[in-house]
Amino acid sequence: SQELEQSPQSLIVQEGKNLTINCTSSKTLYGLYWYKQKYGEGLIFLMMLQKGGEEKSHEKITAKLDEKKQQSSLHITASQPSHAGIYLCGADNSGNTPLVFGKGTRLSVIA
Amino acid sequence: GAVVSQHPSRVICKSGTSVKIECRSLDFQATTMFWYRQFPKKSLMLMATSNEGSKATYEQGVEKDKFLINHASLTLSTLTVTSAHPEDSSFYICSANYAGGGYGYTFGSGTRLTVV
């Protein structure tokens, strides 16, 4: 079965610092999704990656998918308090099967 | 963009009663929707796949008689927690696959169920 390992589990960074969250799959992915969640709230879509070597950016967040499509990283530049939350990676195995999620990374940004 | 509306956002019910949670795709048709459950400080656990016009597919360990799923139209799936108990208290969230744009899987805003 599909397994996603996400690291680190939690992260505390000082405002203005950069950070990276990693997501590793046990299988080659059809697609990889990144979401942000505030505790007890819905998921906010960040980015979707499907091609090996693909990289996408939105504001200060950049996500990459490796050539083998088994590992992805999410990088935040110059972190702000608004970046705090839980970041989840989700694996798409075929395009219409449910996403399988990693355990999430809890990010805290301190002033 | 694709929007999935989930209702209610919060519900408190007494033990033994049933609670219905609705998940609607607002501007697209979803033949398949997915229901997840999230425990505090944990990730999302897939409960079942809801299929329009046919029976839902449940994940191992999820009681289908406890968590009734109905997907009667292309825009609405419902999850009914029957004879709720305190251990059913959790955060439930639905998702639909929108193939028409870059959003892919769109999620509802979730329902926090508290059984007292």
Average pLDDT over residues A22-32: 92
Average pLDDT over residues A57-68: 94
pLDDT at A63 over 80: yes
For B71, the 3-state DSSP assignment is strand
Size of interface A-B (CB pairs under 8 A): 52
Residues of B in contact with A99 (CB under 8 A): 34, 95, 105
Q: Which long-range contacts (CB under 8 A, 24 or more apart) does B5-8 make?
A: B5/B108, B5/B109, B6/A42, B6/B93, B6/B94, B6/B108, B6/B109, B6/B110, B6/B111, B7/B111, B8/B111
Of A29-43, A62-76, B52-66, minimum mean pLDDT range? A29-43
Residue B1 is predicted with a pLDDT of 67
d(CA B37, CA B48): 10
CB–CB contact A31 B91 (8 Å): no
For chain A, what percent of residues have pLDDT higher than 90?
A: 73
pLDDT at A104 over 90: yes
B54 touches chain A (CB under 8 A): no
Residue B99 is predicted with a pLDDT of 65
pLDDT at A54 over 90: yes
Half-sphere exposure of A17 (CA within 13 A, CB side): 13
Residue A41 is predicted with a pLDDT of 84
Residue A93 is predicted with a pLDDT of 81
CB–CB contact A96 B32 (8 Å): yes
- CB-based burial label for B113 (10 Å; 0-12, 13-18, 19+): buried
For chain B, residues with pLDDT lower than 50 are none
Average pLDDT over residues A3-12: 93
From B43, which residue of chain A is nearest by alpha-carbon distance? A103
User: Over the stretch B76-102, which tens digit does the pLDDT of each residue have?
Assistant: 999 999 999 999 999 999 999 876 555
From A98, which residue of chain B is nearest by alpha-carbon distance? B34
